[in-house]
Amino acid sequence: MSTPNAPAWAQNMRRFTNWLTQDIGGGPRPWKFSWVINLQKGGTFFFLGWLIWLYDNHTTGAWIYLALHGTYGLVWLLKDLAFPDPNWQVRITLLGGLNAFLGVLGWYWVFGWLLISGTAQPDYPLPDYAWYCLCISLCCLGMVLMIAADAQKFYTLRVRRGLITDGVHRYIRHPNYLGEMMIYGSFALLVWHWLPVLVLAWVWLGLFAVNMRMKEASMSRYPEWAAYKQRSWWLLPFVL
């Protein structure tokens, strides 16, 4: 669906990514986007556990990574059961689903492989125990923020349509994206390798930034938008 107030670059990027992950190849649309996402999210715990067994890696870092990334996937499944995101209920083509899994979601599994296989040999800027604490804290806070934002949006819009300007949306306009960035940022910090940085740069700039810009263009149709934008931050309080 077109968003007239959105800049041309954002609309073009949205059309391109939608084609890659939803429409490419044409033909039957055998699965929902949410099924592809849930397969990757829910399978992460088991995939990482298999990697630990395969490489016989029982280091603290490997098990912490399993606990963080694996548990996040299970939390995502619970979220989808409780308040599914309507944006993921669209049906997609066979090639679209494969592209979504292999071209985006599958790269997240590479993070864990880098660490557990020993390909990444992290040399953290802080002592290990302090770095683990930082990553765990960042991940936990990100999950709470993401869940709270998505739940508020889901249940508020069931009662009334319109701009959401209170709760976790009071001071930042995209708390769900901030939460996701904190979560995956914690994984990248734990792996401490250049590849996760490149993957996250692509996802955050090519997908997240576009989605946030399109969302703001859509929200600008509400009369209270100007006042809300003036008193809130785009993503980070006191920064953006």
Q: Examine the pLDDT at 238 and tell me if it is beyond 90.
A: no
Provide the pLDDT for residue 211.
Answer: 95
Average pLDDT over residues 72-91: 96
Distance CA 75, CA 183 (A): 12
Average confidence score pLDDT of the chain: 95
Average pLDDT over residues 139-149: 97
Q: Examine the pLDDT at 34 and tell me if it is beyond 70.
A: yes
Average pLDDT over residues 165-189: 97
Distance CA 108, CA 76 (A): 14
pLDDT in tens, 90-122: 999 999 999 999 999 999 999 999 999 999 999
pLDDT in tens, 194-233: 999 999 999 999 999 999 999 999 999 999 999 999 999 9
Q: Examine the pLDDT at 68 and tell me if it is beyond 80.
A: yes
pTM, 2 dp:
0.94
> Residue 237's pLDDT band (boundaries 50, 70, 90)?
confident
Q: Examine the pLDDT at 77 and tell me if it is beyond 70.
A: yes
Q: Examine the pLDDT at 1 and tell me if it is beyond 60.
A: no
R_g of the chain computed on alpha carbons:
19
Phi/psi class of residue 21: alpha, beta or left (left: φ > 0; alpha: ψ in -120 to 50)? alpha
> Residue 240's pLDDT band (boundaries 50, 70, 90)?
confident
Q: Examine the pLDDT at 35 and tell me if it is beyond 60.
A: yes
Tell me if 138 sits within 8 A of 64, measured CB to CB: no
Closest C-alpha among 4, 63, 38, 17 to residue 211: 17
Q: Examine the pLDDT at 156 and tell me if it is beyond 60.
A: yes
Cα separations (Å) of 14 from 1, 10, 53, 142, 194? 10, 6, 40, 25, 27
Q: Examine the pLDDT at 42 and tell me if it is beyond 60.
A: yes
Distance CA 82, CA 204 (A): 26
Helix (H, G, I), strand (E, B) or coil at 190: helix
Provide the pLDDT for residue 179.
Answer: 98
Provide the pLDDT for residue 2.
Answer: 54
**Residue 110: both structure tokens together:** 């590479």
Provide the pLDDT for residue 4.
Answer: 67
pLDDT in tens, 16-31: 999 999 999 999 999 9
Nearby residues of 164 by Cβ (< 8 Å), 6 or more positions away: 152, 153, 156, 157
